[in-house]
Amino acid sequence: MRNKSNIHKHSNATQFGAPHISRRSFLEAIGAAGMVGASGFRSALADTPSNIVVYSTTLPPIQKKLTEAFTAKTGIAVQSLRLVNNTLAQRFLAEQKAKQYICDVVTLGLDTFYEQLTSEGYLAPIDDVPGVATLSPEWRPGSRYVNIGYGPRSIAYNTSRVSQHEIPKGWDDIIKPEFKDQIIMPDPRANDAIVSFLDMLHERYGDNFIRALGQQRPRLVPAIPQGVEMVISGEAKLMVPCLAMNLLQYEGTTPPISIIPTPSPTQGTEFFTGIAAHAPNLKGAREWLAFILGREGQEILCKDNCVSPLGSIPGSLPAPAELQKTDIPKAMKKSDRLYNLLRLTA
């Protein structure tokens, strides 16, 4: 993820090589590419009040369930586009600056992006949307966006290779001798969020802990999903860090992997959400936000996936005792020191 200034720097309409396109043309394009949500592509509805467009980093199976339930309840069809945080942020901002008003609702994990959108007038007021006013302050980080849930970072382990008494109970357990050469970790040099995660551990446990983690000789992978596959196959015992949502794709199967109750402190993958100020279907967008903040939407979004702003939702994850902000700009200032402690070259 990049900070606010980098998002602004790279967000311009020509970045995407596209002349002005209509909302209908865009929907036809994402429909042809298979990037729509559960309701499928409905070109006949593309410019009518019975359709909304949602840009979201929500996992596709969850987004599919959300759109199906929302459409069944409201009759409003949903077209969804999923990209990684930075790419989705840049696309939305470029479209707004070019006055290409396609998206109704945007959900992703960069709070600095929403602060920028708010200051530049690209987000609609949401105070009177049902469910917003009752949110506690930690779920309402800005005046025009909310956090609809977050997935806390934890530790996954191979249930066949880790005995009951070896199962980690917290971060400090991963430096035990039995886990030497048995840890998979995303490469922090290619994952800024992992640098922030290591910075959190460093601030809590100090130099010696990070040094000991490096002495465990963790195997580095490009991203968490690849590491999860390696743990399932028995190539290692632990995936550090891991999120419950990384295991959702195995729902209905019985792979030898589980995740421990969320340790503290931890950080989370947030799902910040706002409504576009120039949303083509503002009414539908408001109904979508109210739905995902309501009990039905939260049960779908948070089951085995997220901590819910509503608290005790069936299947939702328990909130960690201590949640820390993922502060990437702060962490990157310490990256060289962290790499040295881990014995990594920058």
What's the full length of the chain, in residues? 346
> Considering only 17-21, 208-212, 221-225, 280-284, which range has the smallest mean pLDDT?
17-21
Band of residue 2 on the pLDDT scale cut at 50, 70, 90: very low
Mean pLDDT estimate for the chain:
89
> Which of these, 98, 96, 169, 298, lies nearest to 307 by C-alpha position?
298
> Considering only 26-30, 59-63, 108-112, 156-160, which range has the smallest mean pLDDT?
26-30
Q: What is the mean pLDDT of residues 290-312?
A: 96
pLDDT for residue 146: 98
**Beta-carbon-side half-sphere exposure of residue 68 (alpha carbons within 13 Å):** 9
The answer to whether residue 38 scores a pLDDT higher than 50 is: no
Q: What is the mean pLDDT of residues 32-54?
A: 54
pLDDT for residue 86: 86
Query: Does residue 236 contact residue 183 with C-beta atoms inside 8 Å?
Result: yes
The answer to whether residue 90 scores a pLDDT higher than 70 is: yes
Domains in the chain, CATH or no CATH each: 4-149+270-302 (3.40.190.10), 150-267+322-342 (3.40.190.10)
> Considering only 115-124, 165-174, 294-303, 310-319, which range has the smallest mean pLDDT?
310-319
Band of residue 182 on the pLDDT scale cut at 50, 70, 90: very high
pTM: 0.81
Band of residue 287 on the pLDDT scale cut at 50, 70, 90: very high
| DSSP codes, 107-146 | EES-HHHHHHHHHTT-B---TTSTTTTTS-GGG--BTTBE
pLDDT exceeding 90 applies to what percent of the chain?
A: 80
Band of residue 169 on the pLDDT scale cut at 50, 70, 90: very high
User: Residue 69, class by beta-carbon neighbours within 10 Å (0-12 exposed, 13-18 middle, 19+ buried)?
Assistant: middle
pLDDT for residue 185: 98
Band of residue 43 on the pLDDT scale cut at 50, 70, 90: very low
Query: Does residue 259 contact residue 231 with C-beta atoms inside 8 Å?
Result: no
Q: What is the mean pLDDT of residues 32-39?
A: 42
pLDDT for residue 29: 55
